[in-house]
A and B are shown apart, each in its own frame.
Chain A
Amino acid sequence: MRRSTFVRRSIALTVTSMLVAAGCGMGTQEPAGAPAASGAAGEVELSFLVFETPNLNAAFWDAAIARATAKVPGVKIKKLVTPNVDRTAYAKQLDAAGNLPDILQSVNPAGFAEAGKLAPFTPEELADFTAPAAGAIDGKVYQLPYNTQVIPVVYYNKDQFSKAGVTETPKTYQELLDASEKLKKAGFTAMIVSGGGADTWADMYPLTGTVATDVYKKTPDWLVKRRAGEVKFADPDFVKAAGKIADLAAKGYIDKAGLSRSYADGEQAFRDGKGAMYPMGSWFATSADNNKPGFEIGAFPWPSDDGSPVTPTFTGGGTLVSSSAKNVELAKKWALAFDEDKENNDAFVKADGSIPAIKGYVPPTDMGPVYQATVAIYDQGMKDGSIVNAFSQEAGDASLPPGLADATALAVQDLITGKKTAEEFAAYLDEQYAKATQ
C-alpha cells in the first residue's frame, strides 16, 4: 500500500510538473494593459528587434538606441538581433512562439496589422512626417513612415563604362541593352545581381525596375487592382516586365553567378569590379561613399522604353510597436523618439543612405557624391511627378500578401536561370497569390 502510494505520488508529481512547466512556457507574453515589467529604478524593459547589415552594424544600433533612450525616461531597451536580414520572417517565428518583441524595426506590417498584433499611430503622432498616410492599412498607419528609398537605382562603374565606349548613361531601355552589349563585348559583366544563401530578396531589383516602367507607370495602383481581382500577373504588361529580366539573363547581361552570392557578397563583387552595373536600393549610396572602391561610381534611374521618367520609391520602413507591448504608449513614445531623432536620422543617412521623410529635416552637408546623385534622382522624380511604388517593397493596402515577396524572389531566380519563361513566371505568381490569400 505504501509502495503504490509512493508510485502514485511520483506520477502525480510528474504530471503536475509537466502542466506547470507547460503553462509557464506557453504564456510568457503579457496581454496589453497588464502591469509593466519593471527593471531597476522603476524602468520598463522593452524588447526591440533590429537587423544588422554591413551598413547597419551593431555599433550603429547601440548608439542609435542609446540616443532615443536618453529622450524617453523610464525605458530600458533590450536589443534583439535577427539571425539574417529577413526580419519579417524572424518576427513571424517569434510571434508564433508568443514572443513578438515590443518594438520592431523595418518589419513588413502585412499580416501582423490585420491580425491586431500591432498598435496604430494616431494622426497627431504622425504630424511630423511628410507622408503620414504612407503604408496605411484600412486607413491606419502601423509603421512610422520615416524615410524614403529609391528602389532601384542603377549604380555603375564609370571606368568600365568608359573602357567599353559607353559615353552616356542609358535614358531608354534600348540604350540599356546597347550599353550592356558594349560592356559584354569589352569583356565586362554588364549587371551584377545577387540573391544567394538566405538573401534571395536581393535578386529582386531589376524586376522592381521593369515593373515600375512597364506596369506601375501605366497603372500606379496595380496591386490594389490585383487584390480586387481586376488584373493578373499573367496580363501582358506584367509578362513584358518579367520577360525583360529573362531576356537580360539569356543575353548574358545578368551575371548568373550572382545567384550564389549573398547580398554582402554581391555588393563586394561590384566593388571588386566584377560587373559594370549594380541595380540596388538607394541604401547602397552611402556604402559606396563611405567605402570607396578603386573606381568612380555613378547612378541613373532604371530606364523606361520611351525614356520618360519613372522613379520607383518606398516610403515607410520605420519602427512598429506590438499591440501587446509591456507598455504600448511608452513604446510608441520611444519609437517616435527613435525615428524622429535628428542624430539618429543623420546616422541612418550616413550609414544607410536613407532620405528622411520628416518635415524640416536637412541631411548633413558633408554627404558624398553617390548619395548626392541618388538624392538628385529622387528630387527629379518629385519634380517630374514620376514617383511610383517599388514592386515587392510596398507596405499597406497596396502590397503583396504576406509571403508572396519571398516566393517572387525565388521565382526571379527561375527567370534568370531560364527554368521559367516570363509566362510561366507570371502564372506561378498568380498561383502563389491565390495560395497566399486563401
Chain B
Amino acid sequence: MADTKHVVRGERRLATRPRPQPSRARRPARLAPKLGRFALFALPGLVAYGLFVLLPILMTGYYSLTNRNPFNPPTEFVGFRNYVTLTGDPEFLQALTNTVIITLIVTVLANVGGLLVAMLLDRPSKLYLALRGVFFTPVVLSSVVISVIWRAVLTDDGLLNSALRGLGVTDPPGWLSDPELALYSIAWIITWQMLGFCVVVYLAGLQGVPRELQEAAAIDGAGGLARFRNVTWPMLAPALTINTVMLLITGFKAYDQIQVITNGGPGTGTTATMAFQVVKEAFVGNRIGYSSALAAVMLALVAGVSVVVLRVLQRREVTQ
C-alpha cells in the first residue's frame, strides 16, 4: 500500500517540475507581432463580454449605491445605506439561509450520487453507454421544463402522492405545500438536475485513473475499498474540484425552479433564495437600488466561496 501512495506522489513531483522557459528578453519579441492579430480575433468576444457581463456588473454596482425606484423618481445617491439595511433585513437573511441550505444539500448529494452512479456506469458496454446518456439528459433540459415536470410529480395531487395513495398511504406529505418540506423538495430537484453533470465529470476522472496503479495496488494486497481510498479517490481530485465549484455556483444562483414551482412559498420566504429575492425586490417591490445591493452581495459571496473552495480543493489534486 505504501508503495502505491509513493508512486502517486512521485508522479506529482515529476509533473510539477518546472519546464525551461524562454528568456525574458526573447518573449516579447515573439509575442509582439501576433498581439495585434490576437486582439482582432478577441474583439467579438471582448465586445460581448464587455456588454453583457462587465457593463451590467458595473451598472449593478452603481445602482446599489442609489435609491433607484422607477416608480418613485428621482434617483439619489445613498452611499452604503442599502448594504447596511441588508444586514438587518429578515427577508434577506431568510433568503441567505435558504440559499446556503440548498447549496449544501446540492453540493453534497450531487457529488456523492454522481460518484456512485459514475462508478456503476464505468463499464465498457453499450447498455452502460446508453445509461450515461439517460443520466445526462436532465443537464441539457431547460430548468423551466424540469420544474414543470417536477411540479406535476410533487403537487399534492401529483404522480408521487397518487402512487403513495395507491400503496395505502392515506395522508402523503405535501412536498410543495408543507413549509417544512418545500425547501428540501427544491434542493432535491436541483440535485436531480445536476446529477448527470457530476456523473460525466466523475466518469472522465475514473477513465483517467491508470490501470497499472490499480493493478499494483491489487498486487500489494489492497482490497476494493483500500484501492478506492488510496488510488481512485486521490486521482479523482480534479473531478471533485470541478463538480464542487459548479454545484456551489448552481446552488447559490438557484432561481428558475423556485419561480416556477413555489414562487418563494408556501408562505413568506419559505423557499426564497437570494437570486429569487433579487428579482422580487426589483420587479415586485420596484426597489432597483436595494435589489442591486443584494445582487452585489450575492456576486461577492459566490465569487468568494468559489475561489476559497477552488484553492482548497486544488491543493489535494494529483496529476499524472
Residues of A within 8 A of B (CB): 3, 6-7, 10-11, 13-14, 17-18, 21-22, 25, 89, 92-93, 95-96, 111-112, 114-115, 195-200, 256-262, 265, 269, 274, 402-403, 406-407, 410-411, 413-414, 417, 419-420, 428, 435-436
Contact check, A413 vs B266: say whether CB atoms are below 8 A apart: yes
A22 to B51, CA, bound (A): 7
A257 to B162, CA, bound (A): 13
Report which of A10, A260, A261, A406 forms a contact with B39, defined as CB distance below 8 A.
A10
Query: Which residue of B72, B151, B267 has the most chain A CB atoms within 10 A of its CB atom?
Result: B267
Residues of A within 8 Å of B158, CB to CB, are 260
Cβ distance A402 to chain B, nearest Cβ, rounded Å: 6
13 A-B interface contacts by CB (under 8 A):
A3-B36, A13-B43, A14-B50, A21-B51, A22-B51, A196-B262, A197-B260, A256-B156, A259-B265, A402-B285, A406-B284, A411-B268, A419-B268
A261 to B260, CA, bound (A): 12
Q: Is B159 an interface residue (CB 8 A)?
A: no
Contact check, B283 vs A198: say whether CB atoms are below 8 A apart: no
Cβ distance B270 to chain A, nearest Cβ, rounded Å: 8
Contact check, B43 vs A17: say whether CB atoms are below 8 A apart: yes
Residues of B within 8 Å of A111, CB to CB, are 71, 286
Residues of B within 8 Å of A96, CB to CB, are 70, 282-283, 288
Residues of B within 8 Å of A18, CB to CB, are 47, 50-51, 55
Q: Mark B57-75, 1 if CB is under 8 A from A, else 0.
A: 0000000000000111100
A435 to B284, CA, bound (A): 12
Contact check, B283 vs A93: say whether CB atoms are below 8 A apart: yes
Contact check, A411 vs B70: say whether CB atoms are below 8 A apart: no
Report which of A3, A13, A258 forms a contact with B35, defined as CB distance below 8 A.
A3
Contact check, A200 vs B71: say whether CB atoms are below 8 A apart: no
A115 to B35, CA, bound (A): 50
Contact check, B284 vs A89: say whether CB atoms are below 8 A apart: yes
- A196 and B286 contact, Cβ closer than 8 Å, known pairs A3-B33, A7-B35: no
Contact check, B174 vs A410: say whether CB atoms are below 8 A apart: no
Contact check, A92 vs B46: say whether CB atoms are below 8 A apart: no
Q: Nearest chain-A residue to B43 (Cβ)?
A: A14
Q: Nearest chain-B residue to A274 (Cβ)?
A: B157
A417 to B285, CA, bound (A): 24
Contact check, A198 vs B263: say whether CB atoms are below 8 A apart: yes
A241 to B156, CA, bound (A): 27
Q: Nearest chain-B residue to A419 (Cβ)?
A: B267
Give the dominant DSSP class at A's interface: helix
Q: Nearest chain-B residue to A257 (Cβ)?
A: B156
- A265 and B267 contact, Cβ closer than 8 Å, known pairs A7-B35, A13-B43, A197-B151: no
Contact check, A414 vs B268: say whether CB atoms are below 8 A apart: yes
Given contacts A274-B157, A410-B269, A419-B179, 6 further A-B contacts (CB under 8 A): A17-B43, A22-B55, A96-B283, A111-B286, A112-B71, A419-B268
A176 to B319, CA, bound (A): 73
Contact check, B47 vs A261: say whether CB atoms are below 8 A apart: no
Report which of B50, B177, B267 forms a contact with A257, defined as CB distance below 8 A.
B177
Contact check, B154 vs A260: say whether CB atoms are below 8 A apart: yes
Contact check, A403 vs B284: say whether CB atoms are below 8 A apart: yes
Report which of B55, B177, B282, B283 forms a contact with A259, defined as CB distance below 8 A.
B177
Q: Nearest chain-B residue to A5 (Cβ)?
A: B36
Residues of A within 8 Å of B84, CB to CB, are none
Contact check, B179 vs A402: say whether CB atoms are below 8 A apart: no
Q: Nearest chain-A residue to B178 (Cβ)?
A: A417
Contact check, A410 vs B264: say whether CB atoms are below 8 A apart: yes
Contact check, A197 vs B262: say whether CB atoms are below 8 A apart: yes
Query: Which residue of A6, A22, A259 has the most chain B CB atoms within 10 A of its CB atom?
Result: A259
Contact check, B267 vs A196: say whether CB atoms are below 8 A apart: no
Cβ distance B275 to chain A, nearest Cβ, rounded Å: 15
Q: Is B219 an interface residue (CB 8 A)?
A: no
Cβ distance B144 to chain A, nearest Cβ, rounded Å: 9
Residues of A within 8 Å of B51, CB to CB, are 18, 21-22, 25
Q: Mark B81-113, 1 if CB is under 8 A from A, else 0.
A: 000000000000000000000000000000000
Residues of A within 8 Å of B288, CB to CB, are 96
A22 to B56, CA, bound (A): 11
Report which of B72, B151, B175 forms a contact with A115, defined as CB distance below 8 A.
B72
Report which of B154, B175, B261, B266 forms a contact with A417, defined as CB distance below 8 A.
B266
Q: Nearest chain-A residue to B68 (Cβ)?
A: A96
Contact check, A414 vs B70: say whether CB atoms are below 8 A apart: no
Cβ distance B267 to chain A, nearest Cβ, rounded Å: 4
Residues of B within 8 Å of A402, CB to CB, are 71, 285-286
Contact check, A256 vs B177: say whether CB atoms are below 8 A apart: yes
Q: Mark B183-194, 1 if CB is under 8 A from A, else 0.
A: 000000000000
Cβ distance A70 to chain B, nearest Cβ, rounded Å: 35
Cβ distance A419 to chain B, nearest Cβ, rounded Å: 5
Q: Nearest chain-B residue to A418 (Cβ)?
A: B179
Contact check, A417 vs B179: say whether CB atoms are below 8 A apart: yes
Q: Is B230 an interface residue (CB 8 A)?
A: no
